[in-house]
Amino acid sequence: MSNPTDLPGPSTLVLTLPEAPLPDATMARVIAQQNNAREVDYLLDYTSLPAPVRIPRPESVHVMVADVDDLGEWLRVLGGEIHVSPEFEGVELWTLHTQTEPGADGATTSVLVSVPVPAGELVMDWIRAAVKR
């Protein structure tokens, strides 16, 4: 048997096709998501802000932090406005709406930093002052 077709039993022809390219709109979203992730990674490299969970999206990067003090660190470095969700199951979701500093091209990346806060929890006044009324 010198030829693979000489093997006993049926042969299966395997045809491989090149991977289909992504449509232009999808590719633009993927590139925007990667750019946003990179910008926040740069920010974290020089600020050491807490960011245990980062979820990049084409329009922003979501960051989940462990406690309201971590949210305060982001507020101290970048500023912004905090939105508080309605209470559900005894917890409110506090989300800081902020952005990175403008890059060389003037573009910024929107960053949403969120933390669950037990309803009625004592929060430092300077953090509470950033809550949108």
CA–CA separation, 22 and 36 (whole Å): 20
- Give pLDDT tens digits for 3-58: 655 666 666 666 677 776 667 788 889 999 999 999 999 999 999 999 999 999 99
- What lies within 8 Å, CB to CB, of 89 at 6+ separation is none
The answer to whether the beta carbons of residues 71 and 82 sit under 8 Å apart is yes
Of 56, 68, 85, nearest to 126 (Cα)?
Answer: 68
Give me the sign of the Cα torsion angle 113, 117, 122, 128: positive
- Give pLDDT tens digits for 104-117: 888 899 999 999 99
Longest Cα separation, the chain: 83
Give me the sign of the Cα torsion angle 82, 75, 67, 103: positive
pLDDT, position 8: 65
The answer to whether the beta carbons of residues 64 and 52 sit under 8 Å apart is yes
